[in-house]
């Protein structure tokens, strides 16, 4: 009895404390927002969800990277055209055998806490990813060793030539340079220390993440005093907040309203083609999907235009291959015209009739649920009954890993190098080849292209890979979506990037 009362009392105190903390937190924000000393102001950005953690090497959530893009640096980083440009490294040289890369670090780079960033930090960061087998360890697959020959020089030694090493080392902030002390104290998950334009000031779970300008930043000083990220899961609400002025920037716009928003000028909404692709995969370990004719029949039965229109309201480009048009590795190949008769003929050839197909989609990505309904109605026209199975994402991943599906639909986000588009998905040893595709010819080409240093030859090899994968209908590619973001008229200097990186370093806020 007394214990219960004690606990109740404890709960009351906790509630009161929370209320007080909430009040003071609110005041703090107001003070920041009206801070007359900083002319830059604080930009309020609404993102669709909360990061799971802020350790760039351990998180795989896009919400985390939206924040971390502004906090961390990599040796090199993609520019607007996704070409790798100097960042922490000012230059690099490659040995004649392509097996030794020597990076020269920028002078005078400091972490936001004022401590210097040296070659040792680069070595520590990369070895952490490799030794602890973190998410991005595969990007270091060909790396034999990483050494700091002096505080300004990093030498990367490889087992095999790796033409896409720069993309691996700088494609996104998942391979950022972190501080050893910050990792070892465990603070990196909530208060990471980086060398980027902003530093994390405060992370209050369930509410917001506040960044302040990093005065030790090596590049041009950001104009903003800071950025405040809030988590708004409902796109309609995010748009309302943007219109009402509580939010200056959001990427969580209701897709059905984006076409109309693009025409207006307040708020400013821009969209660019992304490097993402969405696809349908058929389980080739199961009959009859092991038969290429059945897979091709399904590819012919789909009307990609209709699927894209329903799933993305036109904010996407139909594509029958993976790599989007804006990439140097784009290969124009579209053999599958929407043709019901052709599909029926192929099914007849395969001796398949009255097929019932299980299609696994996830509520985490509502566009898969929408697209699946269109796919179901299109396949019905060729005599295939589709049973749509909507799962939550964790369960979906379990089923995918266990191979318990006839078909699934999903997307790959933010890939840059063609190796990222194909190897893990279509090599017979690929870590994401859950649909059990195996073609020795494709395996050979993928292994070869991985280490091909002649760009023209490499492009040609990937063209062959693309053609073979499309012909075999390993994945049935559907579309490359656009990335749409909106900001208020007060915001200037912001550009939407095709790799979805959110960079506020050059942004200014009019007041």
Partner 1 sequence: MSEQQISREGQVRRALSALRRDPLALTGTLVLAVLVVVGVGGSWLAPSGINEVDVDVMLQPPSWAHPFGTDELGRDVLSRVMVAARVSLQVGLVSVGIALVVGVTLGLFAGYYRGWLDNVLMRCMDVLFAFPVLLLAVAIVAVLGPGLTTAMVAIGVVYTPIFARVTRAGVLSVREQVFVRAAVSVGASDLRIMRRHVLPNIAAPLIVQTSLSLAFAILSEAALSFLGLGVQPPDPAWGRMLFDGRGFVTEAWWLGFFPGAAIFVTVLAFNLVGDALRDVLDPRQLTVSEARRSTA
Question: Which of the ranges 207-215, 368-376, 424-432, 494-502 carries the binding residues for partner 1, by CB under 8 A?
Answer: 368-376
Nearer to partner 1, 315 or 372 (CB): 372
What's the rounded Cα separation, in Å, for the pair 280 and 407? Answer: 7
Please report how close the Cβ of residue 362 comes to partner 1 at its closest, in angstroms: 11
Locus of tokens 């334009």: 197
363 binds partner 1 (CB under 8 A): yes
Indicate the burial class of 3 (C-beta count within 10 angstroms; 0-12, 13-18, 19 or more). Answer: exposed
The 10 Å Cβ neighbour count of residue 359 is: 23
Applying CB under 8 A, among 66, 74, 164, 378 the residue interacting with partner 1 is 378
Token pair belonging to 365: 């990505």
* By CB under 8 A, residue 235 contacts partner 1: yes
> Residue 108: helix, strand or coil by DSSP?
coil
Kindly state whether residue 369 participates in binding partner 1, applying the rule CB under 8 A: yes
CA–CA gap between residue 200 and residue 192 (Å, rounded): 7
- Binding-site member from 94, 326, 373, 448 for partner 1 (CB under 8 A): 373
Among 90, 98, 100, 390, binds partner 1 (CB under 8 A): 390
Scanning 159-167, 169-177, 250-258, 492-500 for contacts with partner 1 by CB under 8 A, the matching segment is: 250-258
Q: How far apart are CA 300 and CA 279, in angstroms?
A: 14
Q: Which residues contact 18 (CB under 8 A, 6 or more apart)?
A: none
Check binding of 256 to partner 1 (CB under 8 A).
yes
3-state secondary structure of 143: strand
Token readout for 42 is 């604080």
Closest by CA position to 154, among listed 97, 68, 91: 91
Looking at beta carbons only, is 109 or 261 nearer to partner 1? 261
Minimum distance of partner 1 from residue 365's CB (angstroms)? 13
Contact 89, 104 (CB under 8 A): yes
Under rule CB under 8 A, residue 94 binds partner 1: no
Site for partner 1 in 288-317 (CB under 8 A): 306, 309-310
Q: Does 389 bind partner 1 (CB under 8 A)?
A: yes
Token pair listed for 412: 């790959």
Binding window for partner 1 (CB under 8 A); candidates: 18-26, 30-38, 374-382, 444-452: 374-382
Which region, judged by CB under 8 A, interacts with partner 1, from 76-84, 165-173, 192-200, 382-390? 382-390
| Residue among 148 and 388 whose Cβ is closer to partner 1 | 388
383 lies in the site for partner 1, by CB under 8 A: no
Maximal CA-CA distance, the chain: 79
Q: Residue 436: left if φ>0, alpha if ψ -120 to 50, beta else—which one?
A: left
Stretch that binds partner 1, among 54-62, 349-357, 386-394, 503-511 (CB under 8 A): 386-394
Q: Is 179 in the site for partner 1 (CB under 8 A)?
A: no
CA 249 to mean position of chain CA atoms: 19
Size of the site for partner 1 (CB under 8 A): 21
Of 46 and 146, which has the nearer Cβ to partner 1?
46
Interhelix angle 304-312/366-380, rounded to 10 degrees, is: 150
Q: Under the criterion CB under 8 A, does residue 388 sit at the interface with partner 1?
A: yes
Q: How far is the CB of 259 from partner 1 (least distance, A)?
A: 11
CB of 205 to partner 1, least distance (A): 24
Of 24 and 377, nearer to partner 1 (C-beta) is 377
Structure tokens at 201: 């000031």
Kindly state whether residue 318 participates in binding partner 1, applying the rule CB under 8 A: no
357 binds partner 1 (CB under 8 A): no
Pick 192 or 235: Cβ nearer partner 1: 235
- How many Å apart are CA 131 and CA 144, to the nearest integer? 12
What is the distance between the alpha carbons of residues 95 and 60, in angstroms, rounded to a whole number? 33
Preceding peptide of 365 cis, ω within 30°: no
By beta-carbon proximity to partner 1, the closer residue of 29 and 237 is 237
Asked whether position 262 contacts partner 1 by CB under 8 A, the answer is no
In angstroms, rounded to a whole number, what is the distance separating the alpha carbons of residues 329 and 235? 33
Three-class SS of 375-389: HHHHHHCCCCEEEEE
Q: Which is nearer to partner 1, 181 or 260 (CB)?
A: 260
Tell me if residue 271 falls in helix, strand or coil: strand
Site residues, partner 1 (CB under 8 A): 235-236, 254, 256-257, 306, 309-310, 363, 369-370, 372-374, 376-378, 380, 388-390
């Amino acid at each position: 009895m007394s214990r219960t009362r004690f606990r109740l009392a404890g709960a009351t105190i906790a509630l009161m404390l929370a209320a007080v903390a909430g009040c003071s937190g609110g005041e703090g924000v107001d003070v920041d927002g009206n801070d007359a000393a900083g002319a830059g102001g604080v930009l309020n950005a609404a993102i669709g969800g909360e990061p799971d953690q802020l350790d760039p090497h351990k998180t795989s959530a896009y919400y985390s990277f939206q924040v971390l893009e502004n906090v961390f640096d990599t040796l090199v980083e993609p520019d607007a055209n996704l070409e790798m440009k100097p960042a922490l490294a000012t230059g690099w040289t490659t040995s004649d055998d392509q097996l030794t890369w020597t990076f020269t670090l920028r002078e005078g780079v400091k972490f936001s806490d004022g401590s210097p960033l040296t070659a040792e930090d680069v070595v520590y960061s990369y070895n952490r990813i490799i030794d602890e087998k973190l998410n991005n360890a595969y990007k270091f697959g060909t790396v034999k060793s990483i050494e700091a020959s002096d505080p300004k020089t990093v030498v990367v030694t490889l087992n095999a030539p790796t033409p896409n090493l720069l993309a691996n080392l700088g494609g996104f902030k998942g391979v950022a340079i972190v501080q050893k002390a910050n990792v070892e104290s465990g603070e990196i998950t909530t208060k990471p220390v980086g060398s980027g334009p902003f530093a994390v000031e405060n992370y209050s779970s369930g509410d917001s993440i506040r960044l302040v300008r990093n005065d030790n930043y090596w590049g041009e000083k950001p104009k903003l005093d800071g950025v405040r990220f809030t988590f708004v899961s409902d796109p309609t609400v995010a748009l309302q907040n943007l219109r009402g002025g509580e939010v200056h920037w959001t990427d969580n716009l209701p897709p059905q309203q984006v076409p109309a928003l693009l025409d207006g000028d307040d708020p400013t909404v821009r969209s660019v083609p992304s490097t993402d692709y969405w696809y349908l995969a058929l389980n080739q370990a199961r009959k009859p999907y092991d038969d290429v004719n059945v897979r091709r029949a399904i590819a012919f039965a789909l009307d990609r235009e209709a699927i894209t229109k329903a799933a993305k309201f036109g904010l996407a480009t139909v594509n029958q291959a993976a790599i989007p048009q804006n990439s140097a590795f784009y290969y124009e190949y579209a053999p599958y015209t929407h043709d019901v008769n052709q599909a029926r003929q192929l099914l007849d050839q395969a001796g398949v009739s009255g097929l019932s197909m299980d299609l696994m989609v996830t509520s985490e990505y509502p566009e898969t649920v929408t697209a699946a309904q269109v796919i179901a109605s299109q396949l019905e026209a060729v005599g295939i009954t589709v049973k749509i199975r909507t799962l939550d994402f964790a369960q979906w991943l379990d089923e995918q890993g266990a191979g318990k599906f006839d078909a699934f639909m999903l997307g790959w986000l933010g890939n840059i190098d063609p190796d990222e588009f194909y190897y893990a998905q279509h090599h017979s040893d690929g870590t994401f080849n859950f649909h059990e595709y195996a073609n020795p010819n494709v395996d050979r080409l993928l292994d070869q292209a991985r280490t091909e240093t002649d760009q023209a030859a490499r492009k040609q090899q990937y063209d062959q890979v693309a053609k073979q994968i499309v012909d075999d209908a390993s994945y049935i590619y559907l579309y490359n979506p656009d990335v749409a973001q909106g900001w208020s008229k007060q915001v200037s200097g912001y550009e939407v990037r095709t790799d979805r990186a959110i960079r506020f370093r050059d942004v200014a806020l009019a007041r």
